[in-house]
Amino acid sequence: MVGSTGEGRQLIRNLRQEGYEVATWTDSTYGEQLARQDGATLILTDPLTESNLAALKVGRALEAVIDATLPYPSQLSRTLEAWCRQHRLPYLRFLRPETKLPDDRLIYQVSTWEEAARTAAGLGETIFLTTGTNNLEIFVKNPLLKGKRIVVRVLPEHRVIKKCQDLGLTPRDIIAMQGPFSKEMNKVMFKTYKAGVIVTRDAGQAGGTGAKIAAALALKIPVVLIKRPSIQYLYPVYTVAEAIALLKKIATAFPGSIPEGGI
């Protein structure tokens, strides 16, 4: 199991209640603490490379891999999916329903991070990023944003804050807080930092996307929303119950292997 989202943590707890052994991977001390609290059987902290995945498989009867990382594809997700395909293991991709957007001209939907940076550059002098440190360098190094203020809201973790500082951001432009945040809390932050444009991704309601957009629109601040790419997964799941039901179905119908065309 990969992913320390709220759904990922609930998956660990429910899988353990169902009698499953759960090996989970985390890349932070905080994530390790949460996994331990949730009852994970094995907690992995080494980089999740193909060689480390192969070592994990040795001596263990892996039944499936559940990817509950944030709902955007990353290199980690691509590595996991390819490795599962190679070893004929079910790869379950946990997804959040997309946010229902209001019909408002202040919402600018884009498809890429580069497009988000270009669009934000023309909308305001203070760029308020609610995307963490994901692709932060694209904004910091974009020549169109030279001279503009970039404010980032990130998790209060050492490695995260260090990345911000290494990219040249100063403490006055780093908000280290754990969300999700309410509409009113977002409004306070946006007003305090005099945000000219908000940049976010569609992380679904659980990720607070709706509250961010509602807060920005209430303040008449434009929003640049990075849309999710359209990807077809063999085993997409949207709820914890659905993931567990699918695992049981796979184990019953195809013990020890995964069919080419799915189930």
Provide the pLDDT for residue 255: 56
Average pLDDT, the chain: 88
Domains and CATH numbers, the chain: 6-95+233-253 (3.40.50.720), 107-226 (3.40.50.620)
CA-to-CA dists, residue 155 to 17, 20, 69, 146, 174, angstroms: 29, 30, 15, 25, 10
Instruction: Determine the 3-state secondary structure of 182 from DSSP.
Output: coil
Give residue-wise pLDDT tens across range 20-47.
Answer: 888 888 877 788 888 889 898 888 888 7
* End-to-end Cα distance, the chain: 21
Provide the pLDDT for residue 101: 92
Length of the chain: 263
Provide the pLDDT for residue 80: 87
Element spanning 235, H or E:
strand 235-237
* Average pLDDT of the segment spanning 132-150: 95
**Which strands make up the sheet holding 65-67, listed edge to edge?**
65-67, 91-94, 235-237
* The dihedral formed by the CA atoms of 142, 229, 161 and 5, expressed in degrees to the nearest 10: 170
Provide the pLDDT for residue 258: 46
